[in-house]
């Protein structure tokens, strides 16, 4: 998969050089970032960091992050413990519905609009700063709800465009 991606991305960069001159350095940086997604040992390390951060947070009793089984993780395989319980997204949706007087449909619409704004921004263009940099508060409900890696942002953005 990594070799196929690298080959396809080279073609993509060539096409962009023709259609979007001046974007070469941006595309090279993006390629470097995307190539890290092919190594699940990096993902296992990130998962361990996220788990440790949540364990030290006030949410440690309510939010659980699975522990990677590092001795089974390889560049191509990520193994982690299975957690029982509700998904965080479902809990957020239910809590918002409660705040909105039990209106689940409205809660879903509000969350979808916030997600769209978070990932695409007001101008319907990708939002590169989901954490709300430059000293500003994050845009998602004005407080951090978690962290997202680039892979999750891209998948979510593609879902929202359908």
| pLDDT of res. 122 | 59
Burial of 68 (0-12, 13-18, 19+ CB in 10 A): buried
Q: Where are the domains of the chain?
A: 1-38, 42-84, 86-162
Distance CA(161)–CA(158), nearest Å, equals 5
Residue 68 has phi, psi (to 5 degrees) of -70, 145
| pLDDT of res. 118 | 72
pTM of whole model > 0.75? no
Mean pLDDT per 10-residue run, the chain (162 residues)?
82 85 83 82 92 93 91 92 86 90 91 79 52 44 42 48 46
| pLDDT of res. 161 | 47
| pLDDT of res. 68 | 96
- Residue 128 in contact with residue 153, Cβ under 8 Å? no
| pLDDT of res. 124 | 55
Distance CA(153)–CA(33), nearest Å, equals 13
Burial of 107 (0-12, 13-18, 19+ CB in 10 A): buried
| pLDDT of res. 142 | 37
| pLDDT of res. 44 | 93
Distance CA(51)–CA(146), nearest Å, equals 12
């Amino acid at each position: 998969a990594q070799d196929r991606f690298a080959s396809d991305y080279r073609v993509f960069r060539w096409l962009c050089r023709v259609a979007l001159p001046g974007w070469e350095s941006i595309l090279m940086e993006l390629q470097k970032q995307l190539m890290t997604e092919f190594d699940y040992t990096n993902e296992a390390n990130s998962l361990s960091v996220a788990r440790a951060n949540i364990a030290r947070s006030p949410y440690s009793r309510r939010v659980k992050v699975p522990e990677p089984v590092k001795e089974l993780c390889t560049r191509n395989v990520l193994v982690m413990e299975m957690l029982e319980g509700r998904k965080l997204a479902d809990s957020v949706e239910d809590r918002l519905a409660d705040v909105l007087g039990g209106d689940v449909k409205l809660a879903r619409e509000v969350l979808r609009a916030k997600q769209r704004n978070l990932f695409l921004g007001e101008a319907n263009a990708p939002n590169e700063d989901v954490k709300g940099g430059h000293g500003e508060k994050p845009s998602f409900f004005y407080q951090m709800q978690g962290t997202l890696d680039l892979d999750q942002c891209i998948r979510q953005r593609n879902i929202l465009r359908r």
